[in-house]
Amino acid sequence: MLQTLSIRDFVIVDQLDLEFSPGFTVLTGETGAGKSILIDALSLVLGARGEGGITRAGSDKAEINAVFEISSLPELQAWLDDNEIAHDEPELLLRRVIYADGRSRAFVNGSPATIQQLKEIGEFLVDIYSQHAHHALLKAATQRQVLDAYAGHLPLAQEVAQAYQAWQVLYQKRVDAERNAEAYAQELAELRDQVRELSALAPTADEWEPLQQEHMRLAHGASILAGGEECRELLSEGEVSAVSQLSRVQHKLQELTEYDASLQEALDTLDVALIQLEETDRFLNRYLQRADLDPERLQEVEGRVHALHAAARKYRVRPEELAELLAGWQLRQQTLEQGQDNGQLQQDERAAFARYDELAKKLSAGRVQAAERLSVQISDEMQRLSLSGGRFAVDLKPQEPAASGSEQVEFLVAGHAGVAPRPLSKVASGGELSRISLAIRVVTAQRGDVPSMIFDEVDVGIGGGVAEVVGQLLKTLGQQRQVLVITHLPQVAAQGSQHLQVSKFLSEGQTLSRIKQLDATQRIDEIARMLGGVEITETTRQHASEMLTHGA
């Protein structure tokens, strides 16, 4: 659950440190005081996209830190392990820094992270519902996801989608093979000739460079032998060879060192030079003894070089690329030959469809059962929300096989008794949509595993006795999860176990926002303000006190 939230220089917040409790927390305040700033800040630290203008005027960056308790979230801990993020403590620290120029940095437990990683972590921690969530429920995809989540079948739905894609790939391969059979047959015939020709040549990936070096050596064999003998003549075999001349110098220096010992350094250097010259001579001698002219090998190498060059020119590649070209042709040939076997393709396609069909039927069965339970539970909640006689139903219409399964999911609603349920998007007014949306969220949340839920003014369009029921629903939900609600309804605010108030003030010419936790007396004043507006009377305050006593 969310334990603390710290905000620095964000919009109109200069410094804010909040601690949160388990259960049901309400956040209230005057219009324009900045109630949604908390949601915006939390969304950013959970990976939402940052937009310009969110740093406080005069500041170079905004910083948001959130601490979550994760000891009861093994799946998140496994995700952290998979992503090599340390989490020795039972707490997880998320940090987001957003600079005035739009740059952004993210950290998890002090280590740099990506915004995508923050977003993925956030999916384990918090569900945020805003007024826009009402409208999202009008979309078929959202309705299908709500049902699958309620049934606990989101992983199965993902398997169905993957199986569908695998089937479609094989289906398209078969269709393409049938449509292009003639062209593929011609390509395959050409490929077979090319592969046969190049396979006979049998080029290897690492032969070209050594082959060139060997050809150069064999082609200039006579020059190498003659030149080697000449070098030996100059080094040691000639009458005036380098070794004999240096030996004379060596002998002379040995005599001179008897008169001046400082010449020993020159003598030592010369000794080394003579040793190296003698080693060079011995190497050349061994080389020349082994070397000989090999016209047959030269002819063989020249033939190989010519063959590789000819093939390279023919297929417009470099000689060293011939082996790779052959491997590519062989792979393409194998693919086309498999494609010619329509029976095998059809067999693979049927197997893939059977896998999809098996998963889709399993998903359909789960949806049927879940739809019945969900319809009953939401219909019951509608009665409590002053939709007496109203009815909610989940309609499952068969459809052609699709990534989403074998049926379309549609939410139907009847606002009162005696009326046939119709699509949610066609019959629900703004107020009804708010109440039905809240009923759906409350019912489905009871089966979820995300520990914290935030409702951002989802009670818009609700008032009177219904508002008190809404508060009771949220309070009940708070017994199972951590629930934070931004509300303008005193009936909802009175039900909270923790009450935060947002206010704004002027400091050095700047409007700033602050949030504080209210004690019992302050809660009475705040509920009274929400009931009576600007002027708070003793009667209003008494009413507020009674609401809080009743809510407790």
pLDDT tens readout for residues 337-365? 876 656 778 889 999 999 999 999 999 99
Q: Which two tokens stand for residue 116?
A: 């995508």
Nearest-angstrom CA–CA distance, 421 and 290: 100
Write down the pLDDT at residue 342.
Answer: 61
Q: 17 forms bridges with which residues in the sheet? A: 6
Write down the pLDDT at residue 327.
Answer: 93
Q: Which two tokens stand for residue 82?
A: 């998979």
At CA 463, angle to CA 457 and CA 464, rounded to 5?
145
DSSP string of 314-359, one letter each residue = HHTS-GGGHHHHHHHHHHHHHHHHHHH-HHHHHHHHHHHHHHHHHH
Write down the pLDDT at residue 514.
Answer: 85
Nearest-angstrom CA–CA distance, 461 and 434: 7
pLDDT, tens digit, 9 for 90 and up, residues 152-161: 998 999 999 9
Q: Which two tokens stand for residue 32?
A: 């324009």
The neighbour count for residue 526, using CB atoms within 10 Å, is: 24
Q: Are 145 and 154 in contact (CB under 8 A)?
A: yes
- Among candidates 84, 90, 91, 89, which has minimal Cα distance to 111? 84
Sheet holding 452-456: strands in order across? 126-130, 452-456, 482-486, 24-29, 498-507, 510-517
Q: What is the mean pLDDT of residues 397-409?
A: 95
- CA Rg value for the chain: 41
16, burial (CB in 10 Å: exposed 0-12, middle 13-18, buried 19+)? buried
- Residue in the block written with tokens 């093994």: 74
Write down the pLDDT at residue 429.
Answer: 62
Q: Which residues contact 212 (CB under 8 A, 6 or more apart)?
A: 305
pLDDT of 100 over the 90 cut:
no
Tell me phi and psi for residue 480, to 5 degrees: -110, -30
Sheet holding 104-108: strands in order across? 13-19, 2-10, 61-69, 91-99, 104-108, 111-113
What single-letter amino acid sits at 287? Y
- Among candidates 59, 66, 19, which has minimal Cα distance to 45? 66
Nearest-angstrom CA–CA distance, 407 and 2: 38
What would the 3-class secondary structure string for 179-223 be? HCHHHHHHHHHHHHHHHHHHHHHCCCCCCHHHHHHHHHHHHCHHH
Type and span of the H or E element at 432:
helix 430-445
Q: Are 95 and 112 in contact (CB under 8 A)?
A: no
Q: Are 498 and 26 in contact (CB under 8 A)?
A: yes
- In a 13 Å sphere around the CA of 406, the CA atoms on its Cβ side amount to 14
Write down the pLDDT at residue 236.
Answer: 85
pLDDT, tens digit, 9 for 90 and up, residues 300-331: 888 998 999 999 999 999 999 999 999 999 99
More confident of the two residues 92 and 184: 92
Write down the pLDDT at residue 133.
Answer: 57
- Among candidates 515, 513, 448, which has minimal Cα distance to 483? 448
pTM, rounded to two decimals: 0.60
